[in-house]
Amino acid sequence: MAFEFERKQRIAVIGGGPGGYEAALAGAQLGADVTIVERTGIGGSAVITDVVPSKTLIATAEAARNIPDAVGLGVQFYTRTDAGKPTRPEVAVNLAAVNKRVLGLARQQSEDMRAELVRAGVKIIDGVGRLDGENAVVVSTAGGGHGTDFDRIEADTIVISTGASPRELPSAKPDGERILTWTQLYTLQDLPEHLIVVGSGVTGAEFASAYMNLGAKVTLVSSRDQVLPGEDSDAAAILEKVFTRGGMTLLSKSRAASVERTDDGVRVRLSDGREIEGSHCLMAVGSVPNTQGIGLEEAGVQLTESGHIRVNRVARTSVPNIYAAGDCSDVLPLASVAFMQGRTAVFHAMGDAVNPIELRNVTSNIFTQPEIATVGWNQKQIEDGLAQGEIYKLPLSVNARAKMQNIKDGFVKIFARTGSGTVIGGVIVAPRASELIFPLALAVEHRLTVDQVARAYAVFPSLSGSITDAARAMHIVG
């Protein structure tokens, strides 16, 4: 139940990505007077340059991969030469058409979200916002810099949701043509002959996987000894196997010292002196929060050393009426988390019922092929003694449906509390693992035991049958 105010509560939101969008909608739902300031487009980087474009590109990569994979199921593709001899056609991707679709889809999604805000009664200002103390936001609009053509919004509550931008290294400056950040990939008209991806975290791995499946030669440069540092190491090992099998070159323990243009491509120098030449280089070396120059310090908002805004579990900053949601804050950089933080912030500010954010229960997915989905505690934390848990891993190779579909790589792994059998986490590596993880996410959120999970009927044959099979195998004999 929202508090009754004599006048409507005024909420100002800076940034229209998932965090800001959801904060604005929540405010409108609770009857506040909401203004959102956005400099690029509603939907934010998530919709315009990051999540939506990358996952749309990956949908094409998946479709391209399914064609040769169908051969393993006995499907034959051939055409006939003039002489009537069967020949196998090549799978080719028209990247210009793919990227046109990607950008069109992102634009449409942004427009749909803008229309939704307008429908809810949110006022949208296109411009650059900054705090002016604790209770106001000033906006420089298209007319020029601050002070020339600007709006001032007085607000009871302010939500900062300015997101993050690709990290750029001085020795590897993106030029938008050959040396690219992930936001610049969609101008490519042709598939890169040889794409060198620097950085093997989630973003690097997703693009390396996608371009490999689109048909490009790919080299992945990783400073660690395994791709996906910090993720489940069995999952990372499967991905490395799949990457190598697909023809990708993996350079582990290799730090890129510099990237420069050559006459017709790029040269990546590694810190051990080796050099690799390619046609293009994608820099995927992390993000920096967009928190500079927007009046945070002046308003007394505390930042971490990395420049992220320090928030508590209801997204409140060190200034009580200022909240921060999404990648500019010091929590997990995921769109799903940004949405949740935006809503939680406004519900908290307006006195509605809130559940403080439980990061332990966040589900996330790496959109490689196969996908890697995770929830809850991870194996390393259990092995390090941070959580008391049993670990059970069931390879998909024993699953009947996986055999039928010729799925060779993947597993279901469940972590359950020692003694009680309560599910505390899990990992699924499989095609569309993002869709399969949800039963484990429910189990973690609602503290179900492995026996309770095992009691649910999974369809036979189905990949989700491996979840109930794994849960059944973890039964503690009473």
- Closer to ligand FAD by CB, 202 or 471: give it: 202
CB of 129 to ligand FAD, least distance (A): 4
- Closer to ligand FAD by CB, 152 or 475: give it: 152
Give residues 158-177 in contact with ligand FAD (rule: CB under 6 A).
161-164
Give residues 95-154 in contact with ligand FAD (rule: CB under 6 A).
128-130
Query: Which amino acid would we find at residue 238?
Result: I
Give residues 55-84 in contact with ligand FAD (rule: CB under 6 A).
55
CB of 143 to ligand FAD, least distance (A): 15
Nearest one of 152, 97, 135, 114 to 17, comparing CA atoms = 114
CB of 325 to ligand FAD, least distance (A): 6
Position among 99, 290, 368, 399 found at the interface with ligand FAD (CB under 6 A) = 290
CB of 174 to ligand FAD, least distance (A): 14
The alpha carbon of residue 138 and the mean position of all alpha carbons in its chain are separated, in whole angstroms, by: 31
Tokens of 428: 């699924």
HEC sequence for the chain: CCCCCCCCCEEEEECCCHHHHHHHHHHHHCCCEEEEEECCCCCHHHHHCCHHHHHHHHHHHHHHHHHHHHHCCCCCCCEECCCCCEECCCCCCCHHHHHHHHHHHHHHHHHHHHHHHHHHCCEEEEEEEEECCCCEEEEEECCCCCCCCEEEEECCEEEECCCEEECCCHHHCCCCCCEECHHHHHHCCCCCCEEEEECCCHHHHHHHHHHHHHCCEEEEECCCCCCCCCCCHHHHHHHHHHHHHCCCEEECCCCEEEEEECCCCEEEEECCCCEEEECEEEECCCEEECCCCCCHHHHCCCECCCCCECCCCCCECCCCCEEECHHHECCCCCHHHHHHHHHHHHHHHCCCCCCCCCHHHCEEEECCCCEEEEEECCHHHHHCCCCCEEEEEEEHHHCHHHHHCCCCCCEEEEEEECCCCEEEEEEEEECCHHHHCHHHHHHHHCCCEHHHHHHCCCCCCCCCHHHHHHHHHCCCCC
CB atoms within 10 A of CB 162: 32
CB of 337 to ligand FAD, least distance (A): 7
How many residues line the site for ligand FAD (CB under 6 A)?
A: 38
CB of 146 to ligand FAD, least distance (A): 11
CB of 130 to ligand FAD, least distance (A): 6
The answer for residues whose C-beta is within 8 angstroms of residue 386's C-beta and 6 or more apart is 377
Distance CA 11, CA 23 (A): 9
User: Of the ranges 96-104, 155-163, 210-218, 400-408, which one interacts with ligand FAD (CB under 6 A)?
Assistant: 155-163
Task: State the virtual CA torsion across 452, 455, 459, 463 in degrees, nearest 10.
Answer: 50
- Closer to ligand FAD by CB, 258 or 336: give it: 336
Terminal Cα distance for the chain, rounded: 45
- Closer to ligand FAD by CB, 162 or 254: give it: 162
- Closer to ligand FAD by CB, 137 or 448: give it: 137
User: Of the ranges 11-19, 89-97, 150-158, 216-224, which one interacts with ligand FAD (CB under 6 A)?
Assistant: 11-19
Give residues 198-217 in contact with ligand FAD (rule: CB under 6 A).
203
- Closer to ligand FAD by CB, 196 or 338: give it: 338
User: Of the ranges 156-164, 398-406, 439-447, 462-470, which one interacts with ligand FAD (CB under 6 A)?
Assistant: 156-164
- Closer to ligand FAD by CB, 79 or 148: give it: 148
- Closer to ligand FAD by CB, 35 or 203: give it: 203
CB of 41 to ligand FAD, least distance (A): 6
User: Of the ranges 12-20, 297-305, 307-315, 374-382, which one interacts with ligand FAD (CB under 6 A)?
Assistant: 12-20
Position among 15, 278, 295, 370 found at the interface with ligand FAD (CB under 6 A) = 15
Give residues 296-355 in contact with ligand FAD (rule: CB under 6 A).
326-328, 333-336, 338
Give residues 363-402 in contact with ligand FAD (rule: CB under 6 A).
367
- Closer to ligand FAD by CB, 40 or 462: give it: 40
Tokens of 305: 């050393």
- Closer to ligand FAD by CB, 106 or 407: give it: 106
Position among 11, 12, 13, 19 found at the interface with ligand FAD (CB under 6 A) = 19
Stretch 20-59: interaction string toward ligand FAD, x if CB under 6 A: x----------------xxxx---xxx---xx--xx----
Summarize as ranges the residues that interact with ligand FAD (CB under 6 A). 14-20, 37-40, 44-46, 50-51, 54-55, 128-130, 161-164, 182, 203, 290, 294, 326-328, 333-336, 338, 367
